[in-house]
């Protein structure tokens, strides 16, 4: 599924860190701030794994998750989906282009977006 146009435009205007949420095998949530994030293609939001620990373990165990971001006009969007973890390949290579060189960039955590909400409203084309 491609992200709805409104969500892509909102991502292009997002400001500040994103909030990335995963869950472990027992359903215990883990939430982090992430400053190194970008969009890849039409359906992925990518966060650089610079210092993940629980987040990495959750993703590698198959966690679904969400990324919350805000636009400059303080409108919040929540993208939900399934994670991929790229330690090589095109998504990883792209992450290395925008991740600051001072950070290790161990891998690229890509959320394959299945749905996007703004508040309680499902964002659709």
Q: Read off the CATH number of the domain in which 13 is found.
A: 2.30.110.10
SS3 74: coil
* Main-chain phi, psi angles of 54, to 5 degrees: -60, -40
Provide the pLDDT for residue 1: 73
Prediction pTM value: 0.96
Confidence band (pLDDT; 50, 70, 90) for 94?
A: very high
Residue 23 lies in a domain: yes
- Number of folded domains in the chain? 1
Confidence band (pLDDT; 50, 70, 90) for 89?
A: very high
Judge contact between 103 and 96, C-beta under 8 A.
no
The stretch 9-21 carries a mean pLDDT of: 97
Residue 29 lies in a domain: yes
Residue 125 lies in a domain: no
């Amino acid at each position: 599924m491609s992200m709805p146009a409104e969500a892509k435009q909102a991502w292009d205007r997002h400001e500040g860190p994103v909030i990335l949420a995963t869950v472990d095998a027992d359903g215990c949530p883990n939430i982090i701030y992430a400053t190194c994030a970008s969009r890849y293609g039409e359906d992925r939001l990518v966060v650089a794994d610079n210092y993940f620990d629980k987040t990495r373990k959750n993703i590698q165990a198959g966690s679904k998750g969400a990324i919350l971001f805000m636009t400059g006009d303080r409108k919040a969007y929540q993208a939900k989906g399934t994670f991929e973890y790229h330690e090589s390949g095109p998504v990883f290579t792209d992450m290395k282009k925008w991740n600051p060189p001072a950070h290790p960039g161990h891998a690229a955590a890509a959320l394959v977006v299945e749905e996007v909400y703004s508040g309680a409203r499902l964002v659709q084309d």
